[in-house]
A = this chain, B = another copy of it.
Amino acid sequence: MNKIITISREFGSGGREIGKRLADELGFAYYDQEIIKEICKETGMHEGYVEGVAEKAISLISTQFGHTFYNQQQIDVLVSQQKIIQELASKGNCVVVGHGCAEILAERNPFSIFVYADMEAKIKRCRAKGPEEEKLTEKELVRKIKDVDKNRKKIHEMIAPTRWGEKENYDLCVNTTNVEIKKVIPGLAMYAMEYFGNE
């Protein structure tokens, strides 16, 4: 059976960096932006729109009276996403970041990681990494961090009965507040391989 590591994460916590470095360390394929590109190919929709639905934008999903509504295009993206993630995971050992991967791939017994951090650490990481975030005020950045996660939570709830970010849904929860990510990769990689060895 393929060894699959899924990374779910709070925005700004460094989950993508953990996923990329873990894939490099283990010689696994790494899927993140590739998923978006494949959805675009399949649906013929624009990358910005697909990325918005699958990952980021709040405004694309409308909420009224406490209920969330999705239009047909949005549903097409989410259905296509599920299919593509399944196809990629069937190819070989891999690390998949975001896109509800832990839930979509649950039946393949992935090693599922959730990455999180304190707000202060997330702000610092956003400022250091994201050119887009550099222009935002502190208040705007906090709002963005919260909004992106709120959207991830919504998408999670569309595809799974569990709650996003609750430790019970993951095999390991990694707090990056006090760590330099590249330094903890060998330990994380070893833990993951020990986990798979157990199957």
A107 within 8 A of B: no
Closest B residue to A191 by beta carbon equals B187
Closest B residue to A177 by beta carbon equals B171
**How many Å lie between the Cα of A187 and that of B198 in the bound state?**
13
Closest B residue to A180 by beta carbon equals B198
Please encode chain A, from 143 to 171, with 1 for each CB lying within 8 Å of some chain B CB and 0 for all others: 00000000000000000000001011011
Contact in complex: A184, B191 (CB < 8 Å): yes
Of B118, B175, B183, the residue contacting A194 (CB under 8 A) is B183
Closest B residue to A171 by beta carbon equals B175
Given A116-B168, A172-B173, A175-B171, are A187 and B193 also a contact pair (CB < 8 Å)?
Answer: yes
Contact in complex: A194, B198 (CB < 8 Å): no
Distance from A15 Cβ to chain B, minimum over Cβ atoms (Å): 14
**How many Å lie between the Cα of A171 and that of B178 in the bound state?**
8
| Contact count band on A | 20 to 34
Contact in complex: B198, A183 (CB < 8 Å): yes
A186 within 8 A of B: yes
A84 within 8 A of B: no
Taking CB atoms, residues of chain B closer than 8 Å to A60 are none
A188 within 8 A of B: yes
7 interchain pairs (CB within 8 A)?
A: A170-B175, A171-B178, A184-B191, A186-B194, A187-B189, A187-B192, A190-B191
A residues contacting B by CB (< 8 A) are 109, 114, 116, 118, 165, 167-168, 170-175, 177-180, 183-184, 186-195, 197-198
